[in-house]
């Protein structure tokens, strides 16, 4: 009515499927008390693990009869991630953020307090449905896991870039201390991963692809073998 752009809320469809970006963009509309949902379901709910992000705030501001969070990693970094999910699902169940930090985060994360961990488990247990790989119903769906390691030789270009990054790091670490030193090491590790993937990723210059990366060459060979065998594949890189 006031001329604002109404996107996913405009339709009368009973099921609305949106991403976190849209939820954040239209947070004011989504939080309008006149907009009521029977249920709000968050997939990849670890996205709201930081309670101070706009996405987390927008999710908590929605009005609904039921809330569900689906995630394979409810705790990614530390036990504090669980508070953000709990605050979305059942506000107040885990206390305020200050109370959670005092009663659970510090004892468990810093001191390994088993009693505090059991108290937290008892608090959230009634609201969790958990499936693990050892469950019979899951094992029936999964083929045996086979792991093999493929060693890939760096090309001359990759080796040269790798040496340059390590030499640059050695020089920079000479007078670096504390957090700056850690930052330099982490930054160098990221660069070295890019070099090992492909020089073009490290250089960022949109240069040619073929015959410049031992890793990519071996991956291409593996994919060719998969295609020849008529197999399907899902490829991850890190």
Distances (CA, A) of 79 to 125, 126, 152: 15, 18, 37
10-28 per-position pLDDT tens digit: 667 788 888 999 899 888 8
Distance CA 233, CA 220 (A): 12
- The set of residues, in sequence order, having a beta carbon less than 8 Å from that of 204 and lying 6+ positions away, is none
pLDDT at residue number 145: 79
Considering the chain, what is the average pLDDT of its residues?
89
Percent of the chain's residues with pLDDT above 90: 68
pLDDT at residue number 50: 92
pLDDT at residue number 1: 42
The two tokens of residue 57 are 């705030």
Q: Model pTM?
A: 0.59
192 confidence band (pLDDT: 50, 70, 90): very high
Distance CA 132, CA 167 (A): 45
Query: Any bridge partners for residue 22, and if so which?
Result: none
Residue 90, pLDDT > 50, answer yes
Residue 3, pLDDT > 50, answer no
Distance CA 121, CA 130 (A): 13
Place of tokens 């954040």: 24
- The set of residues, in sequence order, having a beta carbon less than 8 Å from that of 230 and lying 6+ positions away, is none
117-170 per-position pLDDT tens digit: 999 999 999 998 887 777 777 677 667 778 899 999 999 999 999 999 999 999
- Identify which of 159, 214, 210 has the alpha carbon closest to the alpha carbon of residue 222: 214
Q: With contact defined as beta carbons under 8 Å apart, do 225 and 219 qualify?
A: no
6 confidence band (pLDDT: 50, 70, 90): low
């Amino acid at each position: 009515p006031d001329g604002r752009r109404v996107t996913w809320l405009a339709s009368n469809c009973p099921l609305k499927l949106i991403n976190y970006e849209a939820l954040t963009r239209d947070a004011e509309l989504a939080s309008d008390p006149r907009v009521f949902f029977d249920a709000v379901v968050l997939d990849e709910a670890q996205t709201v693990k930081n309670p101070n992000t706009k996405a987390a705030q927008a999710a908590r501001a929605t009005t609904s009869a039921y809330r569900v969070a689906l995630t394979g990693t409810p705790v990614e970094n530390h036990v504090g991630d669980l508070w953000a999910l709990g605050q979305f699902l059942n506000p107040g169940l885990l206390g305020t953020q200050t109370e959670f930090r005092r009663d659970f985060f510090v004892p468990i994360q810093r001191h390994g307090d088993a009693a505090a961990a059991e108290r937290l488990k008892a608090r959230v247990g009634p609201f969790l449905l958990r499936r693990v790989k050892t469950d019979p119903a899951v094992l029936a769906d999964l083929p045996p896991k086979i792991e093999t390691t493929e060693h890939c030789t760096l090309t001359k270009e990759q080796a040269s870039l790798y040496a340059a990054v390590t030499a640059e790091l050695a020089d920079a670490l000479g007078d670096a201390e504390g957090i700056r030193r850690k930052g330099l090491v982490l930054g160098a590790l990221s660069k070295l991963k890019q070099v090992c993937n492909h020089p073009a990723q490290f250089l960022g210059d949109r240069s040619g692809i073929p015959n410049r990366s031992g890793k990519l060459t071996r991956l291409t060979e593996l994919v060719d073998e998969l295609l020849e065998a008529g197999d399907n594949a899902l490829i991850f890189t890190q």
